[in-house]
Structure 1
Amino acid sequence: MSDKSYKYSILELATVGQGISIQDTFKNSVDLAQKAEDWGYNRFWLAEHHNMVSIASSATSVLIGNVAGATEKIRVGSGGIMLPNHSPLIVAENFGTLGQLYPNRIDLGLGRAPGTDQTTAHAIRSDRNASVFRFPEEISEIQSYFKIDNAKSSVRATVAEGVEVPLYILGSSTDSAHVAAKKGLPYVFASHFAPTQLHDALSIYYNNFQPSEYLSEPYTIAGINVIAADTNEQAEKLSTSLIRMMLGVMTNNIDYMQPPTEMNSELLEIKQHPAFAKMMTYAFTGDKETIASQVSDFLDETGVNEVIVASHIYDHEDRLKSYKILAEVMKELNRVIA
């Protein structure tokens, strides 16, 4: 274990369970954020996804405002805003507004994937492909809107000028590592579902990092899945909801998250399939001791500064329990370091 302490955060997709309303899903997100604040989580980020019945985090900035308004100190942000879906000016205005409402608490994570299928991506913004190739330039546009001296520009996001909203670059391949390094911005890797290029991307980022006015040295965050419970057997049962959900993603047969069932031979076979196992490389399931060992190994293996955790668990109370166990694990790991 390294001698540095680690921050731990939550990636929330507002996952919709079978028989659970979207309204209740949003209420559960707020309840989780409030408890996460008490448990020492650093930030609570909401993803951007579209046209998926199982995920309700579509209007990301709206949900960020809802969570920030119901909490006091935890950082709240986007994990992330899929920039090619949006105008840089509107992103700056939205997050400038959030930054005015909740000073020094709002993060702006930016990615360039669509967060949906190609047909839906075209419906969101028909010229998004051109925007994908302009990703670095559009990041610079957003940065300019937040600067005080943009007051001299003919196009302004007046609500954003001078507002402190840190930018983070998100990626699931090596492409964004180059962008984050060149711009001197923090880098967040989606290893919770795309682990293959994690180490290559981190290496590129560290080796090419250029200090900037925003960041003097590299800062990295990596995604993991965690399903924690009192016993390994309970955690394994809870994980059956995740297995079914990810199978639906892989087969383009997306449905509401299903209640957990006993693990059976069919689900074990899916779990052990090479393609599925690769995608879920960093999905940690078990009791507190098991999770502590897996997370500690991950931190040693990657050297990242922070983990951001997704927990796709059907029952709200079970999900709260999982995040509470993980918070205890992280506090104990950090005490060992100290």
Structure 2
Amino acid sequence: MKEIEKMKHIPYSILELATVGAGKTPKQVFDNSLELAQKAESFGYKRFWLAEHHNMLSIASSATAVLMGHIAGGTKSIRVGSGGIMLPNHSSLLIAEQFGTLASLYPGRIDLGLGRAPGTDQLTANAIRPDRMQAVYRFPEEMHNIQRYFSKENQQAKVRVPIAEGLDVPIYILGSSTDSAHLAAKEGLPYVFASHFAPGQLLEALDIYYNNFQPSQYLKEPYTMAGINVVAAETDEEADTISTSMLRLILGVMTGKIDYMQPPIKMTPELKQVSIDPAFQRMLKYAFVGSKDSVRQKTKAFIKQTGVNEIIAVSHIYHQEDRINSFRLFSEAMNEI
């Protein structure tokens, strides 16, 4: 594991899934996402990334690049990116066109995070792209295609993306297992681990990345980001109550009873028992729920253990005012570490 000589302030960002609450329309969800991005900008967050998921009642960020344009157009300085684009679902040329367009509209603010998971169930993945499994094996090649489309050297090629050529859109490799760590290290690209829902191989993947990293034209030293779930409130008890929306949402995913995110309820003994169930803990090992001080202490320990360069926080919080307050408190906590 990467050694940390001393604790220092590190950047903090948001991964937005555009979670759909019961009784909410997609338009309300998108408006709330934009409001959160605007608040995050004022709170000092570095990035606001959007995740690609399909055929899920509770997530509205399926057209990721379109939603990125909505967010970037309503903010001024925060970086806006994909966390990520699931590349095997797409043509590398079309992704270069989309992100070249975004980078032309919002210079110096667009990130391209790439993953190879489907972001959905296998039946839907097949409906998106029947040859998807072949595309999974071609992931490194397709990523290289995107890099080529963004290079000035491609101006002499027969197949071009003129709107992308010469633009600076950093690529981040996303992963939830050790496979992508090898690729990110070999390619000399920043590495982002989805420890907010798949924490099991986090430390092993980071070790692989740190130990095998090869400097590139894109990055001279390793750069890592890791996801955590955050529900912060004025008190631990209040945070526990707010977190019941997340607990019930994840329980629905685990039991196959997927539904919209529900309003919070008082923490019950049954829900408390669910939250400490081993299967649940394996998925939400890095869910930091509590007061600002509680969340700060847990996050500080996480940074010390992992040595990551940046934290990217996820939240499933029903009420918009609670969500904004949680990210405000988390910003304060990060600045106190």
Deviations 1:259-300 (A, max 9, x none): 000111211121111010111100000001101100100000
Name the counterpart of 1:142.
146
Whether the 8 Å CA contact 2:9–2:334 is kept in 1: the answer is no
* 1:43 is the counterpart of 2:69: no
Whether the 8 Å CA contact 2:21–2:261 is kept in 1: the answer is yes
Q: Equivalent residue of 2:85, what SS? A: strand
CA distance in 1, matches of 2:171, 2:229: 23
Deviations 1:299-332 (A, max 9, x none): 0010000000001100000000000000001112
Name the counterpart of 2:291.
287
Q: Equivalent residue of 1:170, what SS? A: strand
Query: Which of 175, 183, 205 lines up with 2:179 in the alignment?
Result: 175
* 1:119 is the counterpart of 2:114: no
Query: Which of 237, 243, 246 lines up with 1:242 in the alignment?
Result: 246
CA distance in 2, matches of 1:272, 1:282: 13
Whether the 8 Å CA contact 2:49–2:81 is kept in 1: the answer is yes
Name the counterpart of 1:87.
91
* 1:59 is the counterpart of 2:60: no
Aligned-pair CA distance for 1:3: 3.9
In the superposition, the TM-score normalised over structure 1's length comes to 0.98
Query: Which of 309, 332, 336 lines up with 2:336 in the alignment?
Result: 332
> What is the root-mean-square deviation of aligned Cα atoms in Å?
0.7
* 1:9 is the counterpart of 2:31: no
Query: Which of 202, 209, 221 lines up with 1:217 in the alignment?
Result: 221
* 1:98 is the counterpart of 2:102: yes
* 1:190 is the counterpart of 2:191: no
CA distance in 1, matches of 2:296, 2:313: 14
CA distance in 1, matches of 2:8, 2:322: 30
Aligned-pair CA distance for 1:236: 0.2
Name the counterpart of 1:336.
none
In the superposition, the TM-score normalised over structure 2's length comes to 0.98
Deviations 1:56-110 (A, max 9, x none): 0000000001000000000000000000000000000000100000000000000
* 1:320 is the counterpart of 2:316: no
CA distance in 2, matches of 1:92, 1:234: 44
Q: Equivalent residue of 1:194, what SS? A: coil
Name the counterpart of 2:313.
309
CA distance in 2, matches of 1:304, 1:154: 41
Q: Equivalent residue of 1:277, what SS? A: helix
CA distance in 2, matches of 1:280, 1:58: 23
Q: Equivalent residue of 2:288, what SS? A: strand
Q: What runs of 5+ residues in structure 2 fail to find an aligned partner?
A: none
Whether the 8 Å CA contact 2:240–2:290 is kept in 1: the answer is yes
Q: Equivalent residue of 2:231, what SS? A: strand
Aligned-pair CA distance for 1:4: 3.5
Query: Which of 229, 234, 254 lines up with 1:230 in the alignment?
Result: 234
Q: Equivalent residue of 1:159, what SS? A: coil
| Cα distance change, pair 294–239 in 1 and its aligned pair in 2 (3 A) | same
Query: Which of 158, 161, 186 lines up with 1:157 in the alignment?
Result: 161
Amino acid across the alignment from 1:65: G
Amino acid across the alignment from 2:326: S
Structure 1 residue runs of 4 or more that deviate by more than 2 Å after TM superposition: 1-5
CA distance in 2, matches of 1:4, 1:89: 40
* 1:206 is the counterpart of 2:210: yes
CA distance in 2, matches of 1:144, 1:85: 19
CA distance in 2, matches of 1:62, 1:225: 25
CA distance in 1, matches of 2:256, 2:135: 26
Amino acid across the alignment from 2:232: A
Percent identical residues: 63
| Cα distance change, pair 3–293 in 1 and its aligned pair in 2 (3 A) | closer
Amino acid across the alignment from 1:55: I
Q: Equivalent residue of 1:256, what SS? A: coil
Amino acid across the alignment from 2:312: I
Name the counterpart of 1:268.
272
CA distance in 2, matches of 1:268, 1:37: 34
Q: Equivalent residue of 1:269, what SS? A: helix
Whether the 8 Å CA contact 2:7–2:304 is kept in 1: the answer is no
Q: What runs of 5+ residues in structure 1 fail to find an aligned partner?
A: 334-338
CA distance in 1, matches of 2:260, 2:33: 17
Whether the 8 Å CA contact 2:80–2:111 is kept in 1: the answer is yes
